[in-house]
Amino acid sequence: MRAVSRVDGVASAKARISSKRTRVTASSNRRLPGDLEARVTRAAEERLSALRLASPPPLSVRLDSRGQR
pTM for the structure as a whole:
0.85
Q: Would you list the DSSP string of 5-56? A: HTSTT-SEEEEEE-SS-EEEEEEE--S--TTHHHHHHHHHHHHHHHTT-SSP
CA gap 45, 48 in Å, rounded: 5
Give the structural domain span for 8. 2-68
Check residue 67 and give its pLDDT: 61
The CATH number for 8's domain is 3.30.70.1350
Check residue 65 and give its pLDDT: 85
Please tell me which residue, 68 or 1, carries the higher pLDDT value: 1
pLDDT in tens, 11-67: 999 999 998 999 999 999 888 888 999 999 999 999 999 999 899 899 999 999 876
Domain count, the chain: 1
45 with 12: CB under 8 angstroms? Answer: no
